[in-house]
């Protein structure tokens, strides 16, 4: 466990103060949103592995609906909360500090699941297994991941 804690501390220090903690781009996120089917009014949204919340705030801006923002790092979530307050959006952000592989939410309670560059923490297959039960019947999952190729 000590080795994992060192890794987490190093990861937080590496990304402290950065707008994004991983891959992503607002223009591409706009494109992705334009390609998905219409969501219900006031969709139930989760940003899993949200980091400091660039994706969360993007989703809040797009849908004007509450977003559950999940991350293991209190520091990243505090940055998200501060950014949301600066924009007057804190009432639409629910910051949740927890293990994204152990969400104890009711089944079928997410209309849009968003995860940018975080699924690798559970393995992509593990993330799908953990998150699938949370998806509403017509829910949409947008999960991006870096692909690392080795020879």
CA 57/CA 4 separation, integer angstroms = 29
**Six-digit token pair at 69?**
């923002």
Helix boundaries (H) for the chain = 2-15, 26-35, 54-63, 74-86, 124-131
> pLDDT, tens digit, for every residue of 86-123?
999 999 999 999 999 999 999 999 999 999 888 887 88
pTM above 0.85, yes or no: no
Tell me which residue of 8, 108, 113 sits closest to 50, measured CA to CA.
113
Give residue limits of the domains in the chain. 2-144
- The phi, psi pair for 38, rounded to 5°, reads -60, 135
pLDDT digits (tens, 9 = 90+) for 3-32: 655 655 555 555 555 555 555 678 888 999
% of residues, the chain, pLDDT over 90: 62
Q: Which fold has domain 2-144?
A: Rossmann fold (3.40.50)
Handedness of CA 23, 51, 93, 144 (dihedral sign): positive
């Amino acid at each position: 466990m000590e080795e994992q804690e060192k890794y987490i501390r190093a990861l937080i220090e590496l990304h402290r103060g950065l707008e994004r903690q991983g891959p992503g781009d607002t223009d591409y996120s706009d494109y992705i949103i334009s390609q998905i089917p219409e969501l219900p009014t006031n969709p139930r949204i989760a940003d899993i592995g949200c980091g400091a919340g660039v994706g969360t705030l993007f989703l809040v801006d797009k849908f004007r609906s509450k977003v559950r923002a999940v991350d293991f790092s209190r520091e990243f979530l505090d940055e998200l909360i501060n950014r949301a307050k600066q924009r007057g959006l804190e009432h639409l952000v629910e910051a949740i500090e927890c293990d994204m592989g152990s969400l104890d939410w009711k089944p079928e309670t997410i209309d849009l699941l968003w995860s940018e560059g975080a699924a690798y923490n559970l393995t992509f297959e593990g993330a799908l297994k953990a998150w699938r039960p949370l998806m509403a019947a017509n829910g949409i999952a947008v999960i991006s991941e870096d692909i690392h190729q080795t020879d």
